[in-house]
Amino acid sequence: MIYKGLKGVTCTETTLSMIDGERGKLIYAGYDARDLSMNHSFEEVAYLLWYGTLPNESELQWIEEKFKTHRNLPHYMKNIIENLPKELGILDVLRTSISSVHLNSPEIPTVEDAIRLTAIIPAIIAYRLHSLGTKKFPTIRQDLNHVAYYYYMATGIDPKPELTHALETYMILTMEHGLNASTFSARVTASSESDLASSMTSAIGTMKGPLHGGAPTGVIELLNDASHSNNIKSMIREKMERGEKLMGFGHRVYKTLDPRAEALKEILQQNPKADQWFSLALELEDIAIQTLEELKPGRNLYTNVEYYAAAVMKALNIDSSLFTATFTASRIVGWSAHVMEQRSNNTIFRPNAEYIGPVPTTF
């Protein structure tokens, strides 16, 4: 029996997350991910995934300081970023920059190196924008938590709590999500006993693929089409009849409401700055779900996290070219946690492929 894409195949055990696609539940290390996103910081949830417990006061202070310690961009990395072709996208830049990081522990993946790789991403993005002449490279700040610092470096906007709360919710909810394509890439690389930076490079390369990390950008295109349409229902129906995929609807795992989308929707409802795009997103969601049920009955296609992620980032004035980079900036925590888990009880991945080509007559 061949399982294309390894769909439904269980190949490892994990303590990091559990996805209940039938009930629409997501658990991080024994905690409801939605509750974590509403009541805890990015640093706290990162600590949970890396260590298996939420931090106490002194542990939280320690990890917050560690994040700040590793924010500076070394000169050699600035030179790399400056000399990369201008045509390369931001995921290409992240992939190449992360691969160049000198780790403190190249043999064994550590939390210290995981923090370093996570903490440096905002500066990589900001310096790339600077090198392209898009934005001035901001001053590295030590007074902000990680998500506020990310927002500041990516946009140049002084972060306000009402803005960064929505972004922090998104970045916590996308921090970890089981054995998805990029996480699997990271674990496969780690299983060969390669180093943490190489595993993160594999994961970023996989994240670049439009079937995995590119969905929020597609949602913006859908919202833009809706904003210029006199009849959203007809627009959606025409797209579906042409065989186009409605980006932001449906999920390979969730067969009911995506709990991450519901949490982001709730956060947007609390954000007065999100009125225009949020109202459009709500209207489009209702019409699209009705149309999907008419044309694809019984498929249970609902909005996924990318749908409301796009609305959040549009409301926060984060450029659409940075959507997948923002996804990467959060998911690197889950990737690195998986790498450490893989190496703690390692077996190299080596599945089989069934040969279907010609065989010599003398064989």
| Domain positions in the chain | 14-209+321-344, 215-315
Residue with tokens 């859908």: 222
**What percent of the chain stands above pLDDT 90?**
68
Alpha carbon distance 43, 172 (integer Å): 9
- Return the half-sphere exposure (C-beta side, CA atoms, 13 A cut-off) of residue 255: 6
Q: Where are the alpha helices (DSSP H) in 192-274?
A: 196-207, 215-227, 232-241, 259-269
Task: Please give the C-alpha separations between residue 193 and each of 45, 90, 114, 206, 346, in angstroms, as whole numbers.
Answer: 26, 28, 16, 19, 9
What pLDDT does residue 275 have? 57
Residue 105 pLDDT more than 80? yes
Residue 346 pLDDT more than 90? yes
Question: Which is the CATH superfamily of the domain at 215-315?
Answer: Cytochrome P450-Terp, domain 2 (1.10.230.10)
What pLDDT does residue 181 have? 95
Alpha carbon distance 207, 205 (integer Å): 6
Given pLDDT bands bounded at 50, 70 and 90, which one contains residue 272? Answer: low
What confidence tens digit (pLDDT) does each residue in 80-104 have? 999 999 999 999 999 999 999 999 9
What pLDDT does residue 214 have? 66
Question: Which is the CATH superfamily of the domain at 14-209+321-344?
Answer: Citrate Synthase, domain 1 (1.10.580.10)
User: Between 273 and 68, where is the model more confident?
Assistant: 68
What pLDDT does residue 277 have? 72
Q: Which two tokens stand for residue 221?
A: 């295109």
Q: Is residue 177 annotated as a catalytic residue, yes or no?
A: no
Residue 253 pLDDT more than 70? yes
Taking the alpha carbons at both ends of the chain, their separation in whole angstroms is 24
Given pLDDT bands bounded at 50, 70 and 90, which one contains residue 306? Answer: confident
Averaged pLDDT, 257-282: 78
What confidence tens digit (pLDDT) does each residue in 210-234 have? 888 766 677 888 888 998 999 999 9
Secondary-structure breakdown of the chain: helix, strand, coil percentages, each rounded to the nearest 5:
60, 5, 40
Averaged pLDDT, 180-196: 98
Q: Is residue 306 annotated as a catalytic residue, yes or no?
A: yes
Q: What is the secondary structure of 22-63 as a DSSP string?
A: TTTEEEETTEEHHHHHHHS-HHHHHHHHHHSS---HHHHHHH
E strand or H helix at 19:
strand 17-20
Catalytic residue among 64, 306, 338, 341: 306
Averaged pLDDT, 164-191: 95
**What percent of the chain stands above pLDDT 70?**
98
Given pLDDT bands bounded at 50, 70 and 90, which one contains residue 121? Answer: very high
> How much is the mean pLDDT over the chain?
92
* pTM exceeding 0.75: yes
What pLDDT does residue 273 have? 57
Please enumerate in sequence order all residues whose Cβ is within 8 A of that of 281, keeping only pairs 6 or more positions apart, or say none: 223, 268, 307, 308, 311
Do the domains spanning 14-209+321-344 and 215-315 agree at the CATH topology level?
Answer: no
Given pLDDT bands bounded at 50, 70 and 90, which one contains residue 1? Answer: confident
Label residue 35 exposed, middle or buried (CB < 10 Å: 0-12, 13-18, 19+). exposed
What pLDDT does residue 358 have? 94
What pLDDT does residue 67 have? 98
Alpha carbon distance 303, 251 (integer Å): 8
Averaged pLDDT, 282-306: 87
The maximal CA–CA distance of the chain, rounded, in angstroms, is: 75
Averaged pLDDT, 4-8: 90
Catalytic residue among 130, 165, 251, 338: 251
Residue 248 pLDDT more than 70? yes
